[in-house]
A and B are shown apart, each in its own frame.
Chain A
């Protein structure tokens, strides 16, 4: 995403968000472990991790809703609360409920008054695609509509950083597309958009940068292409009647192997060599497909590797990231 320098807060060198050795524990449970991370301004950043990875806690810390047990968090060079008071941050949480008896317009009017340099209400309504809902009570909205209104709440302050926690949960495909366009629109205006998501397609489509955390630690931080390269894998799929796992276990460069009846899926760090070795064994598979991994498989691969699932080679991918 191109960034226009005049929009950068506190000079171009200041990151939008900076975590330094941040930890958070609840009693003996360690939700975030020594997380160090800098997110530059003006980017769309996807925040990925399996459930319980510490995404929500990290977001709550950077929003000032929770205090880190140790370490330092800065948002545009300020404490989270100062950044919030200065109007730098707008956010939508999964748990951020809207009062049921208030109309969408009343809600957004309030939100614009609660930020120092807000957008006009009509502008918020149109950017978030909720003009048609303006006179509806918040309690009468469907799940997808509620998410759109929450997004409107997050952008009402015309903030420099927009934080969205799983923004498209509960949306149908069409609404999700509309929503992604609105998100991209904000990023194109030079905003830093940080979003946690379970939909890897969302990250793939929108993010300039992807941050993966697992078990409270930073696992990867880079472009979508970097993450895919980090997983490093291609996928080979084919059909081979009578094949057994044992026959395939010795293939070189294999990272994961799945055999279901006669259908085989292999993740490999070198598809050419793996495939030649397969042929050298005298096997003659059919319906061969060789493809690069999507972000989703890459994500599964690197979190599984991290989980010390030694046999990434072991059986099927158990983690269902959806």
Chain B
């Protein structure tokens, strides 16, 4: 167990000193949030009483989380698979699940600044929430990150290293576009978006901060994604056990 913890700690340190990771998880979403928030001051999302600023708060916090959990894990794992680092770890007393567990644990910590910093910026842009709403929306995005972490692990193990970057980018941008991370989706886009975890992380977190009933169907879809991606990741991991 100490091995898993030490490895997890090293994973976190590596993520935090990686400028690319920090840019895509914190700086880039924070910048987009400030730009979007300032352009919609005082307006509500059409047809609702949800302030646009609140909407973008959740949208961009989750956007940063997707990069921190999915992109980071997919690229790291593919890279480490190719370099032989995973093989080297198998030549230690680290339990076979240790590598993946440390990645998941590290991701759960690395996504926190992505959420907290956007939230902090939100308070400067006129977002006013109760303590309970801050905490519950944090929890939705934080736990929702598990779906993206699992997806990242599955991609990292399942796809050849040179294809990982484009594939991840397509899922990241496409998923965020359809999930409403960039703007409020409606019509056909929303119909498609409604099957995606990107949509439901944002939607459920928005519901909890706007005094709306939580869509339990959406919670189920999101939980389904966590489980499905987890199984896919476990399968890919097994398949590559002799790499």
Let me know if A102 is at the binding interface, CB within 8 A.
yes
Chain B residues within an 8 Å CB radius of A153: 88
Are A87's CB and B80's CB within 8 A?
no
Q: Which of B6, B17, B87 contacts A109 (CB 8 A)?
A: B6
Cβ B92 vs Cβ A111 within 8 A: yes
Main secondary structure of the interface of A (DSSP, over half): loop
> Within the assembled complex, what's the spacing in Å between the Cα atoms of A125 and B243?
29
Distance of A156 from chain B, by nearest CB (Å) = 9
Using known A-B contacts A95-B84, A99-B83, A99-B85, determine if residue A110 contacts B10 with beta carbons closer than 8 Å. Answer: yes
A106 touches B91 (CB 8 A): no
Number of residues of chain A lying within 8 A (CB) of chain B:
30
8 Å CB contact of A113 from B2, B14, B17, B80: B2
Binary contact track A85-98/B, C-beta < 8 Å → 1, others 0? 11101110101111
Instruction: Give bound CA distance, A97 to B94, whole Å.
Output: 17
Whether A122 is near chain B, meaning CB under 8 Å from some CB there, is no
Q: Is the CB of A93 within 8 A of B84?
A: yes
A144 at the interface (CB under 8 A from B): no
Within the complex, what minimum Cβ distance (angstroms) separates A287 from chain B?
Answer: 50
Whether A97 contacts B17 in the complex (CB less than 8 A), given A87-B93, A110-B10, A113-B3, comes out as no
Chain B residue contacts of A115, Cβ below 8 A = 92-93
Stretch at the interface among A61-69, A246-254, A289-297: A61-69
User: Number of contact residues on B: which range applies?
Assistant: 20 to 34
Supposing A97-B83, A113-B6 touch, asked if A84 and B88 sit within 8 A by C-beta, the answer is: no
* B205 contacts partner chain A, Cβ-Cβ < 8 Å: no
User: How far apart are the CA atoms of A87 and B83 in the complex, in Å?
Assistant: 24
Q: In the complex, which residues of chain B have a beta carbon less than 8 angstroms from the beta carbon of A113?
A: 2-3, 6-7
How far is it, in angstroms, between the C-alpha of A97 and the C-alpha of B88 when the chains are bound? 7
Contact of B91 with A97 in the complex, beta carbons under 8 Å = no
B80, A97: Cβ atoms closer than 8 Å: yes
A157 within 8 A of B: yes
CB-based contact A101/B14 at 8 Å: yes
Tell me whether A260 is interfacial, beta carbon within 8 Å.
Answer: no
A99→B17 CA distance, assembly (Å): 13
Residues in B with CB closer than 8 Å to A98 are: 83, 85, 88
Kindly list chain B residues whose C-beta atoms are within 8 Å of the C-beta of A116. 93
Q: Beyond A93-B87, A114-B94: 8 further Cβ-contacts under 8 Å?
A: A84-B92, A89-B91, A96-B88, A97-B80, A99-B80, A101-B17, A101-B18, A111-B92
